[in-house]
Chain A
Amino acid sequence: MAILVLDMLTTSLILFVVAAGLMIILGVMKLINFAHGAFLTVGGYTAMLTTDAGVSPWLSGPLALIFGFFGGLLIERFIVRPLYDRPLDAILATWGLGIVIGQLITLGFGREVQFAASPLEGTLTLGAIDYSAYRLAVSGIALAIGAGLTALLYLTRFGLNARAVIMNETLARGLGIDSARVRAFTFGLGAGLACAAGALITPLLSVDPNMGLPWLVNSFMLVLVSGVSIPSLLLASLLLGSAQVLVSTFVSPILGGMTIVVLAAAILRINPRGLSFG
């Protein structure tokens, strides 16, 4: 029972951290980044390279963040910027980008499944039960990232500008906010977060050129259900993530794989605003 609750909590928090980058981009730029899955994959390979190079696995997340951020700035400039007024086309172009990244990885590293070392091996004893130490660590890091993002949005100048752009871009521009820069920085941040999340989850799974795909679909659904707000994304992750664990445990792991997708579609049909509050 305790293990089930911990599974639900950690799964939800992992989903949260994976979806955060997608949400930031959707919120500020009003576009859905279908390269998100590929960014996660890039993060996974960054983690693998980091550990292969003998650097501490704890550093793979920050390294992936930096790498993703600068990569994101480049991508924003050349692919995303021309598509600001064609949001559905932006989905397709970023999907194309995802294919390109996936193929480049395949060419560079091959198709086979590989593994990255975990910074924390073994289990942690909590009262009567043992639980994977790294899952708990990732959950803690996810919460920290959530808090950091909230601080970034509410306590910094960038956050103020970004929130202004989220609410009313035309007006924000009229007030002298350089919305192009806000967008560029946001895309970089979203890409960086995706890569970092990929690096974080890698020790729990394995690395292969398509590892990001299932995460992309689930993140996409979570973000649409939650709307643009960190607390509601956390809520959506908790609800749908827990549902996924419950279905996987008590019904069938295969049906668990589609729980989030089906629930999200149903929630949005009943209430198009999803779970967003505010």
Chain B
Amino acid sequence: MSRRRPLRTALIGAFVALAVIAAGPFVLDTYTTNILIRAFFLAALAMTVDVLWGYTGILTFGQSAFFGIGAYACALTFTHYGFGPGWAIGALLAGMGTAMVVAALIGWLAFYHGASPLYASIITLALPIVFVQLIFAGGRFTGSSSGLSAFPTYYWAFETWFWIAGTYLVLVATVAWIFVKSDFGRLLVAIRENEDRCAYLGIPVSGVKITLMVAAGAIGAGAGFGYSAFTNVVAPELGGFLLGTELLIWTALGGRGTLLGPIFGAIGIDVTASYLTGALPFLWTLLVGIAFIVVIVFLPEGLAPIIGRRLRAAGQALNLVGAPHVSSYSVKAINPGSHASEDVEVPLRTEGLQRHYGSLKVLDGISLEARKAEILSIVGPNGAGKTTFMRCVSDGGERSGGKVFINGAEIGRFAPHRVAKLGVGRSFQNTNLFDTLTVGECLMLARFKTDGAQKFSRRESLDLPEPALAILRATELADAMTLETRNLSHGMKRGLELAMVLATEPSVLLLDEPTAGLTKAERTAIGDVLVKLANDHRLCIVLIEHDLDFVRDISSRIVVLHQGALLMQGTVEEVINSDLVKAVYAGEDAESVK
């Protein structure tokens, strides 16, 4: 499995596509050439929708607005300011620049930690509506509702335009293809599948989405510019909500998350529409609408995967192609990074930590310290506020009052990925991983904070710190690197969860019931690893556990929470033998025992 394989596939594909496009005008009649030029520009736009929606899970209605911005940049410049090579390049750059600024603004509005996925859709829905109204408000300058037409442009032959549009499409599609097949592409899928989990691994999810939006905006504006320069007509509909939804239809029919599916979907539907609207004006749209419903309800993957499977099966039968490419990472150990050994004796300290929901106090003034090389267990009955405590330590936006210091730094209102950068690693109570990612890919994501992700290629090997490797060996995950995580057993999932957190090289490790649902043997293995982490790697480990035997075996100290307050803390002996704790666990009122 060579690292260059996706790159080679992409380049061969691009070469073939360019050859087809070069030959196109000599084979096709003028009418088809004409509509294909427009379809190519629209397909490039549909492709950006697929990267945003199909890969990253951002349901966007507003990609058409960027197309409109590019189109109007061309029309307005050529109509009002001037025409010539310099003006054309200037207008193209202005269009792309405006689109990028607007996209950054939209991204900043729509993507913040804790935003619901629906909110991004609302913002992207508002965008084309605002765009169209602004064009209306522009009066004679923008041509209002009738748009602008008959501005000077390059009246090149259809072949030339065909080659320009085709090359633009192939170019952006090739770059996008290499991009989505890279490590970074897997990161996008991870964001789609479990955005929260990404944030706690230290991945700046909002930043990634905004950057993606900006790039998609620029590509869309470029396509719009070409469309406008070729057709010589712009209308507000080019940036409107309806085109935005049509893009989603093409993407869904073609196959979301396949990149090529939406491109062929856009071209296929647009060209067929041009042929059929003469004969069957409204019937075609009706048929597309019905097909869209059927695909969404019954074939959410779209048509491309079905055709792709057929082609691959045929190819394999003829021995043309091998098995599908599964990226495998070889792992090797590295020495712990420098930041894990910062010289802070108390990596985690909280002062008067509070969390209220209205008048309900879930955490009430928790002040505690966790030192290096110790395992601090937090115990307490259900509803004591244990998980809330972890949440407040790992997400600056959670607490209602008090302070949290990580390695001496106050976390303020930091989003989880920034807290993670300070050195916090958190595992979750439920094993929510990235279903369609392999074990190796999950570990690669966990290394994003330190190693980044390659944007146009795939890594072949992963550098993992020794503790993460120890977990992989203990849970037999080392041999399962190419398995998708949804096929793992519960024990392996827990192991992977822990290995991912350790791969981020945290200095404070927050573990929420790491051994829930595990067998005795698995529990012992994980317990051994934790003790070793504390002793040999001097990690500060904070653990939530219900299994008091497990807690007794491995803890250095124990903190007891009860109804949001810190009931007592002390050594294992002190706490386990305390009447107070026995009373709390037996459900007696703590006050009466005191």
Residues of B within 8 A of A99 (CB): 285-286, 288-289, 292
Answer whether residue A119 sits at the interface, using C-beta atoms and an 8 A cutoff: no
The CA-CA distance from A43 to B115 in the complex, in Å, is: 35
**SS class of chain B's interface: helix, strand, loop or mixed?**
helix
Answer whether residue A269 sits at the interface, using C-beta atoms and an 8 A cutoff: yes
Answer whether residue B271 sits at the interface, using C-beta atoms and an 8 A cutoff: no
A262–B126 touching, CB < 8 Å: yes
On chain B, the number of residues with a Cβ less than 8 Å from chain A's Cβ atoms is: 36
Which of A81-89, A138-146, A196-204 faces chain B? Answer: A81-89
Q: Which of A82, A93, A99, A213 has the most CB of B within 10 A?
A: A99
Answer whether residue A128 sits at the interface, using C-beta atoms and an 8 A cutoff: no
Answer whether residue A56 sits at the interface, using C-beta atoms and an 8 A cutoff: no
B119–A261 touching, CB < 8 Å: no
Partner of B119 from A32, A79, A272 at Cβ < 8 Å: A272
Residues of A within 8 A of B133 (CB): 254-255, 257-258
A26 vs chain B, min Cβ distance (A): 10
Q: Which of B116, B123, B297 has the most CB of A within 10 A?
A: B297
B296–A268 touching, CB < 8 Å: no
The CA-CA distance from A220 to B248 in the complex, in Å, is: 18
Answer whether residue B583 sits at the interface, using C-beta atoms and an 8 A cutoff: no
On chain A, the number of residues with a Cβ less than 8 Å from chain B's Cβ atoms is: 36
A107–B296 touching, CB < 8 Å: no
Answer whether residue B408 sits at the interface, using C-beta atoms and an 8 A cutoff: no
A92–B292 touching, CB < 8 Å: yes
The CA-CA distance from A214 to B570 in the complex, in Å, is: 64
B116–A272 touching, CB < 8 Å: yes
Residues of B within 8 A of A261 (CB): 125-126, 129-130
The CA-CA distance from A103 to B281 in the complex, in Å, is: 10
A92–B248 touching, CB < 8 Å: yes
Answer whether residue B117 sits at the interface, using C-beta atoms and an 8 A cutoff: yes
The CA-CA distance from A79 to B125 in the complex, in Å, is: 23
Answer whether residue B518 sits at the interface, using C-beta atoms and an 8 A cutoff: no
Residues of B within 8 A of A88 (CB): 59, 117-118, 121
CB-nearest residue of chain A to B144? A254
B29-52: which have CB < 8 Å to A?
Answer: none
1/0 per residue, CB under 8 A from A, across B278-297: the answer is 00001101101110110011
The CA-CA distance from A91 to B248 in the complex, in Å, is: 11
The CA-CA distance from A221 to B285 in the complex, in Å, is: 27
A262–B282 touching, CB < 8 Å: no
A107–B282 touching, CB < 8 Å: yes
Partner of A89 from B125, B129, B136, B300 at Cβ < 8 Å: B300
B293–A93 touching, CB < 8 Å: yes
Answer whether residue A55 sits at the interface, using C-beta atoms and an 8 A cutoff: no
A92–B252 touching, CB < 8 Å: yes
A255–B286 touching, CB < 8 Å: no
A91–B59 touching, CB < 8 Å: yes
A95–B119 touching, CB < 8 Å: no
The CA-CA distance from A221 to B109 in the complex, in Å, is: 16
A272–B126 touching, CB < 8 Å: no
1/0 per residue, CB under 8 A from B, across A95-127: the answer is 111011001101100000000000000000000
Partner of B297 from A82, A217, A221 at Cβ < 8 Å: A82
Residues of B within 8 A of A86 (CB): 300
Residues of B within 8 A of A258 (CB): 126, 129-130, 133
A30 vs chain B, min Cβ distance (A): 10
Given known pairs A92-B292, A93-B296, A258-B129, the reply for A269 and B282 (CB within 8 Å) is no
Q: Which of A32, A89, A106, A258 has the most CB of B within 10 A?
A: A258
B285–A96 touching, CB < 8 Å: no
Answer whether residue B114 sits at the interface, using C-beta atoms and an 8 A cutoff: yes
CB-nearest residue of chain A to B109? A269
The CA-CA distance from A89 to B133 in the complex, in Å, is: 28
Residues of B within 8 A of A252 (CB): 137
B297–A79 touching, CB < 8 Å: yes
1/0 per residue, CB under 8 A from A, across B299-326: the answer is 0100000000000000000000000000
Answer whether residue B122 sits at the interface, using C-beta atoms and an 8 A cutoff: yes
The CA-CA distance from A97 to B290 in the complex, in Å, is: 7
The CA-CA distance from A265 to B286 in the complex, in Å, is: 32
Residues of B within 8 A of A8 (CB): none
Residues of B within 8 A of A257 (CB): 133, 136
Answer whether residue A264 sits at the interface, using C-beta atoms and an 8 A cutoff: yes
The CA-CA distance from A262 to B133 in the complex, in Å, is: 11
Residues of A within 8 A of B118 (CB): 32, 88, 224
The CA-CA distance from A255 to B241 in the complex, in Å, is: 17
B296–A265 touching, CB < 8 Å: no
Answer whether residue B249 sits at the interface, using C-beta atoms and an 8 A cutoff: yes
1/0 per residue, CB under 8 A from A, across B235-258: the answer is 000000100010011001000000
CB-nearest residue of chain B to A83? B297
Q: What are 21 A-to-B residue pairs whose CB atoms are below 8 Å?
A: A83-B297, A86-B300, A89-B296, A89-B300, A91-B121, A93-B297, A95-B245, A95-B248, A96-B249, A96-B296, A97-B289, A100-B289, A103-B282, A103-B285, A103-B286, A106-B282, A221-B122, A258-B133, A261-B129, A265-B123, A268-B122
B residues whose Cβ falls under 8 Å from a Cβ of A: 59, 109, 114-119, 121-123, 125-126, 129-130, 133, 136-137, 241, 245, 248-249, 252, 282-283, 285-286, 288-290, 292-293, 296-298, 300
Task: With A91-B121, A95-B248 given, name 11 new contacts (CB 8 A).
Answer: A83-B297, A88-B118, A96-B249, A96-B289, A96-B290, A107-B283, A217-B129, A217-B241, A262-B126, A264-B126, A265-B109
